[in-house]
């Protein structure tokens, strides 16, 4: 199979122009010529490039407690952040700031719940700015608890344990199972990144993400992919 070139639309010269030439504004995307597919779902990517996807998917009954444990880990890491570093960049070559970044970790879960309740999963649903009143690490961690509580209530009353419901997303109609799996590893990937941010501040993460929390999830190999 032909290797694919990886284009960082922020740091690769002309990268954003290539994206816009396809009529797109959102990533990740896999493109062949002028054809493309959003790379949010590995099943879509495998179908697009014509390969078999040989992986088993964790059942929702396993994903739900896994996601809760990931969000609990994120809460602990967020609480370790110094208040005076919340306005700094997550990494130097990307514009995202730490305060919206840590809010985003939990907003991913809330966005899934909103989509499950009927909202369209637009690209902006999980990428909103935190409320102006949410300024401190403690306040972000408390928001994380609210998301965890809301998810627990949802799951306890959910009549669709296989998550077969179809959700309307910006990358097509997807099963709730697929969107929930992506939400789980998306928050987990940001947990990995947040631990590295703490280390950059000479703060040892008290409880970073454990290997078993990522087991069975289709997470990127690289930290900033």
pLDDT computed for residue 40 by the predictor: 58
Coil, helix or strand at residue 167:
strand
pLDDT computed for residue 1 by the predictor: 41
Both ends of the chain: CA-CA distance in Å? 22
Report the candidate in 110, 112, 99, 111 with the shortest Cα–Cα distance to residue 139.
99
Regions of the chain short of the pLDDT cut 50? 1-2, 9, 15
pLDDT computed for residue 18 by the predictor: 59
Angle at 196 (CA atoms; ends 72, 92), nearest 5 degrees: 125
Q: Who contacts 82 (Cβ-Cβ below 8 Å, separation ≥6)?
A: 137, 201, 203
pLDDT in tens, 64-80: 999 999 999 999 999 99
CA 81 to chain centre: 20
Longest dimension (CA), the chain: 51
The domains found in the chain, sorted by start residue, are 1-54 (no CATH), 60-214 (1.20.120.450)
200: tokens are 């950059």
Coil, helix or strand at residue 53:
coil
Report the candidate in 154, 140, 156 with the shortest Cα–Cα distance to residue 106.
140
The single residue listed with the structure tokens 């929930």 is 180
pLDDT computed for residue 61 by the predictor: 98
Distances from the Cα of 93 to the Cα of 8, 82, 105, 171, angstroms? 11, 21, 20, 27
């Amino acid at each position: 199979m032909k290797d694919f070139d990886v284009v960082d639309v922020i740091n690769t010269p002309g990268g954003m122009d290539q994206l816009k030439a396809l009529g797109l504004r959102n990533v990740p995307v896999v493109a062949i010529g002028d054809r493309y597919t959003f790379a949010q779902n590995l099943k879509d990517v495998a179908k697009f490039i014509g390969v078999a996807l040989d992986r088993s998917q964790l059942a929702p009954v396993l994903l739900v407690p896994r996601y809760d444990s990931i969000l609990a880990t994120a809460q602990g890491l967020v609480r370790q952040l110094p208040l005076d570093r919340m306005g700094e960049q997550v990494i130097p070559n990307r514009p995202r700031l730490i305060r919206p970044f840590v809010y985003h970790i939990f907003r991913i879960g809330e966005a899934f719940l909103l989509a499950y309740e009927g909202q369209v999963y637009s690209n902006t649903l999980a990428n909103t700015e935190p409320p102006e009143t949410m300024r401190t690490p403690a306040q972000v961690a408390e928001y994380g608890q609210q998301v965890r509580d809301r998810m627990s209530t949802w799951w306890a009353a959910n009549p669709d344990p296989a998550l077969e419901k179809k959700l309307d997303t910006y990358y097509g109609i997807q099963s709730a199972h697929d969107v929930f799996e992506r939400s789980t590893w998306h928050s987990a990937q940001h947990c990995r990144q947040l631990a590295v941010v703490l280390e950059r501040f000479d703060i040892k993460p008290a409880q970073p993400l454990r290997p078993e929390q990522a087991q069975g999830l289709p997470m990127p190999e690289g930290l900033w992919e």
